[in-house]
């Protein structure tokens, strides 16, 4: 199977469906180590109607959700390889700082690196950039659940 097909299978396995999927494409996954992806926003997404009318900005909470979804993909890829196909990871904690506003249209580069495992908890360092500028960075903790 090609890498592109594997990325598509992983994206399809996300428990989030449209319109609440914020990883448009995976660009790299190193199982249980790190991952990179992209969230493409066109400006036509429904949430821009109210955030903010006439001056749309990507909501920081959705940018954080995109990073958490990427963390889940890194964790899920590892769980699948360990023979746990139905396992999921849930958000346990987040500490993400927003550094700059992102205005649509935008291609948002997402990165997540697993830095520590503590039992069922997975600690990730995350970052997002748009147009070459830092948009967000911080830590996300996921808890593995059966």
Check which CATH number belongs to the domain holding 50 and give it.
3.10.129.10
Q: How many CA atoms lie within 13 A of 35 on its CB side?
A: 25
Assess whether pLDDT exceeds 80 at residue 44.
yes
Single pTM value for the model: 0.92
Domains contained in the chain, number:
1
* Residue 105 lies in domain: 3-145
Residues near 80 by Cβ (< 8 Å), separated by ≥ 6?
Answer: 13
Cite the active site residues: 51
Q: Each residue of 7-40: pLDDT tens digit? A: 888 888 788 888 999 999 999 999 889 999 999 9
Place of tokens 């997404």: 45
pLDDT tens-digit profile of 94-123? Answer: 999 999 999 999 999 999 999 999 999 999
pLDDT digits (tens, 9 = 90+) for 50-71: 999 999 999 999 999 999 999 9
The per-residue pLDDT for 1 is 42
pLDDT band at 80; cut points 50, 70, 90: low
Spatial contact of 117 and 105, defined as CB atoms under 8 Å apart:
no
């Amino acid at each position: 199977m090609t890498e592109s097909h594997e990325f598509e299978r992983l994206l399809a396995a996300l428990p989030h469906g449209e319109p609440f999927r914020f990883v448009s494409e995976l660009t790299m996954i190193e199982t249980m180590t790190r991952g990179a992806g992209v969230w493409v926003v066109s400006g036509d997404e429904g949430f821009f109607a109210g955030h903010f009318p006439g001056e749309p900005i990507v909501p920081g909470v959705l940018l954080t959700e995109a990073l958490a979804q990427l963390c889940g993909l890194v964790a899920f890829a590892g769980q699948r390889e360990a023979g746990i196909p139905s396992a999921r990871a849930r958000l346990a904690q987040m500490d993400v700082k927003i550094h700059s506003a992102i205005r649509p249209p935008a291609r948002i580069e997402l990165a997540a690196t697993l830095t520590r495992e503590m039992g069922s908890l997975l600690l990730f360092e995350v970052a997002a950039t748009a147009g070459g500028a830092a948009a967000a960075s911080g830590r996300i903790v996921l808890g593995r659940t059966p």
